[in-house]
Amino acid sequence: MKPALVRFYFDADVLGLGKIIASLRPDCTFPGDPGTRLNGRDRPPCQVTDTAVLDTIWIPVVAKAGLAIITRDSAIQRSRELRAVRDARAKMFALSPRDATTKWAQLELLMTRWRDIERKSFDSGPFIVPVSRTGKMRPIDLT
């Protein structure tokens, strides 16, 4: 079996969405993911084992692994979290809390913008890109 190339990490704020997507794609993981074999690929367990880990702890771990982060954390724009993203050179996509109120709405938003997210995920970090149904995906100022 070939190892999966994991590229996306779904934060605890979108854990249900992360589990759905990880059941379909071997390149996606979430906190507590035990790993699995999917589509001929072995996805290793996630390095973040608990959903209660502080943003300032897990962001550097995930960024060092080269994963793009998908979250819905409206507090991510606080200075402590911004600093963690900036210092770790993380790549983060923040689903609009207004557009992503339920798992279904999160899935709809993610699928609508997936190609944009995937394309932008190849860019160098650090960045936080708000993701909404209608807005342009422009990084927010990290200073």
- C-alpha–C-alpha distance, residues 77 and 98, integer Å: 15
- Give the tens place of pLDDT for each residue, 82-138: 899 999 999 999 999 888 889 999 999 999 999 999 999 999 999 999 999 887 888
Q: Domain locations in the chain?
A: 2-131
What pLDDT is attached to residue 77?
Answer: 67
pLDDT band at 143 (very low <50, low <70, confident <90, very high): confident
Q: Give residue 73's pLDDT.
A: 72
- Name the residue with tokens 């923040």: 94
Label residue 6 by pLDDT band (50, 70, 90).
Answer: very high
* 10-54 pLDDT tens trace: 999 999 999 999 999 999 999 999 999 999 999 999 999 999 999
Alpha-carbon span 58 to 92, nearest angstrom: 13
In what order do the strands lie in the sheet containing 8-10? 28-29, 8-10, 68-71, 91-95, 127-131
